[in-house]
A and B are shown apart, each in its own frame.
Chain A
């Protein structure tokens, strides 16, 4: 596998999104559970009608879950999938593996076409 730099970039991009986001939603969820356990007066404050803070925060958990899922899908399509496609293409064609790693212009070109082809397929 000569495309060491590509895999490095892919790993970095994946981890840079997935790890902080996991920490963020877990903290937000735990905050919600902790408030439910220890801040019941706050949770009972009515915002409008019979809708209180607890219910709004609960709905907020739903909203943030949907939001993070959509965000990740968009991020992965844009920043992860093209790289993974290129690495797979390089692996399937051993000649390509050699040239992409050494940044041969022809090789890059090749990878580029491959990339747009598979990318088109993925978004179809």
Chain B
């Protein structure tokens, strides 16, 4: 049943992709969907691009297991859109063409800024891709009831092959329609479940909260902050703030989100699409709140943890329960529907990510850095398609290799890099007259290196028990992987990448608190220390960019 729905979705999206390929002739079609989408279509597609499996399955699961703390994620994910709306979307639409780097290149020296921005785009998108694909592998194999390493690798390869097809054949048009179909399915599925959950509690939210708190075994603490984040010492509270910063400042620096602003005809349409997106994404996160507490109340934390310790299957288990429970036709139908929605969600997001990365490789690195603008459109599109295959293949390989690692941190890391490396440089380029090429390169490189560096020194890589990460009770398998006795009290994070017992030099799991100020500081320092020889020229370039960004004169 689930497989039939999966296949139906795949068939529909493949048909759309083939149709879109017939409409894709020019580079503007391939990169920006011909700039012909309406604000509503683009708003829905932004929702489809943004609401990843991590936010549907992940947040519902976080709320189901940790109560209120899961909600913090959705708030950060939503408020972040105001940064995009007020400061970035319209100005970017007017001053860029296909990629994030276009905006920087409009006033700074082309080759250094495109190289830096291209590298950061590929890094952010690939991290995000690997997180999504590894997540897809575990979720899809859980949903389909297949186990074992071979199955996971096959799921990763299948998802990867589909996303490569969407991007290479359908370009931005095909990818956008896949995202629209997915967003409609996701909203419909979430709305149906929300109504069913609320109906069980007489549409009384307080009653639902009470039931969730009682069922959780944690009482009213389940409805208060503190079960997951900032639960131990002062560092863990700083970690929560660090996460909050990265979430709210990262969105407006995510390349796959930024390129969506180019798919509409004008800055005004970009503004209206962001407003649509805010409405859709906000409604969706309010529904995940109901779904998460509903899963806690109706399915129960113990049953959810038994199916998947990180809670990723909370939404699908809830669907089964709402349909009538395991073994009933209604339960099987609901489960199949929501599982198919989750699958669609993953596919749409990975396609958007692959498109963003390959656009940047072709348009920034190939056409403007390597060929110095001497390539023709057809050649550029050929490189973009090739890049999609290479990046897709690379992600399949990385994900297959990392399939048993805990890669959830990669999403938070992608947001942190976007906030630390991309956002400072975008904002300074758009608003600061004295900003320079050196500032842009320092900002991107400094933000990127700091964010990755902090993670390399964090408990994600070094899992020794400390005041911040108290020792956990190990399962036999974890103890074996870590090479310690089952009763050992020296492990705080059994899924640490490098060592389970060495204590991390930096106790923060989320680098944002350090790397975001560092990114702004590097960018500012680079600009202030530049030798100012071409003052008049740079000044004129900023005036021209500002005029174009605000009015749309000369916009593509």
**With a CB–CB cut-off of 8 A, which chain B residues contact A22?**
82-83, 86-87
> A33–B547 contact, CB under 8 A?
no
Chain A minimum-CB-distance residue to B249: A26
B230 within 8 A of A: yes
Q: Which of B75, B209, B272 contacts A61 (CB 8 A)?
A: B75
What's the least CB distance linking A8 to chain B, in Å?
10
> B552–A84 contact, CB under 8 A?
yes
Q: In the bound complex, what is the Cα–Cα distance between A49 and B86 (angstroms)?
A: 37
Per-position binary interface string of chain A over residues 62-93, scored 1 when its CB falls under 8 Å from any chain B CB and 0 otherwise: 10011011101100100001001001100100
What's the least CB distance linking A17 to chain B, in Å?
8
Q: Which of B71, B79, B206, B278 contacts A48 (CB 8 A)?
A: B206
**With a CB–CB cut-off of 8 A, which chain B residues contact A84?**
267, 550-552
Residue among A10, A14, A37 with the highest chain B CB neighbour number at 10 A: A37
**With a CB–CB cut-off of 8 A, which chain B residues contact A34?**
241
**With a CB–CB cut-off of 8 A, which chain B residues contact A106?**
none
> A73–B275 contact, CB under 8 A?
yes
**With a CB–CB cut-off of 8 A, which chain A residues contact B220?**
44, 46, 50, 52
Q: In the bound complex, what is the Cα–Cα distance between A73 and B277 (angstroms)?
A: 13
What's the tally of chain B residues with a CB closer than 8 Å to chain A? 52
> A50–B86 contact, CB under 8 A?
no
What's the tally of chain A residues with a CB closer than 8 Å to chain B? 47
> A38–B237 contact, CB under 8 A?
yes
Q: Which of A29, A37, A51 contacts B206 (CB 8 A)?
A: A51
> B551–A36 contact, CB under 8 A?
no
Which one, B221-229, B343-351, B519-527, is touching chain A?
B221-229
> B224–A52 contact, CB under 8 A?
yes
B205 within 8 A of A: yes
> B223–A62 contact, CB under 8 A?
no
> A50–B209 contact, CB under 8 A?
yes
Within 8 A of A (CB), among B267-310: 267-268, 271-272, 274-275, 278-279, 282, 285-286
Q: Which of B72, B267, B271, B282 contacts A36 (CB 8 A)?
A: B72
A55 within 8 A of B: yes
B553 within 8 A of A: yes
**With a CB–CB cut-off of 8 A, which chain B residues contact A30?**
241, 244-245
What's the least CB distance linking A79 to chain B, in Å?
12
Within 8 A of B (CB), among A12-34: 14, 17-18, 21-22, 25-26, 29-30, 32-34
> B278–A50 contact, CB under 8 A?
no
Q: Which of A7, A18, A29, A36 contacts B86 (CB 8 A)?
A: A18
**With a CB–CB cut-off of 8 A, which chain B residues contact A65?**
78-79, 81-82, 278, 282
In addition to A17-B86, A43-B225, 12 A-B residue pairs with Cβ atoms within 8 Å of each other are A10-B551, A21-B82, A22-B82, A36-B229, A37-B240, A52-B224, A55-B68, A66-B279, A68-B82, A72-B86, A84-B267, A87-B553
